[in-house]
Amino acid sequence: MPGVDAQDAIFDAVKKKFGFVPNLIREMSRNPAVARVYLDGQAAIGSGVLSHREQQVIQLAISVYNECDYCRAAHGLGSRRARAAPADIEAIQKGTLPEDPRLRSLVSATWQVLDVRGALTSQDLRALEAEGVDRAQLYEIVAIIGLKTVSNYINHIAHTPIDEAFRE
- 28-71 pLDDT, tens digit per residue, is 999 999 999 999 999 999 999 999 999 999 999 999 999 999 99
> Do 29 and 76 lie in a common domain?
no
- Domain of residue 26 covers 4-45
Task: Say what the pLDDT of residue 3 is.
Answer: 60
Q: How confident is the model at residue 6 (pLDDT cuts 50, 70, 90)?
A: confident
Whether 104 and 86 share a structural domain: yes
Question: Could you tell me if 120 and 146 lie in one domain?
Answer: yes
Q: Identify the CATH number of the domain in which residue 148 sits.
A: 1.20.1290.10
**Contact criterion met (CB below 8 Å) for 69 and 163:** no
Q: Give the predicted TM-score (pTM) of the model.
A: 0.93
How far separated are the first and last CA of the chain, in Å rounded? 36
One domain, residues 142 and 127? yes
- pLDDT tier, 77 (very low <50, low <70, confident <90, very high otherwise): very high
Predicted confidence band at 151 (pLDDT cuts at 50, 70, 90)? very high
79-138 pLDDT, tens digit each: 999 999 999 999 999 999 999 999 999 999 999 999 999 999 999 999 999 999 999 999
pLDDT band at 167 (very low <50, low <70, confident <90, very high): confident
Are 115 and 100 found together in one domain?
yes
User: Long-range contacts: 71-78, Cβ < 8 Å, 24+?
Assistant: 71/24, 71/148, 71/151, 71/152, 71/155, 73/162, 73/166, 73/167, 74/22, 74/24, 74/162, 74/163, 74/166, 76/166, 77/165, 77/166, 77/168
Statement to judge: residues 41 and 117 lie in one domain: no
Give the chain's domain count.
2
Give the closest residue to 153 by CA, choosing from 67, 72, 83. 67
Q: Which of 78, 72, 80, 83 is nearest to 18 (CA)?
A: 78
Whether residues 34 and 103 fall in one domain = no
Range 2-5 contact pairs with CB under 8 angstroms and sequence separation of 24 or more:
3/31, 3/32
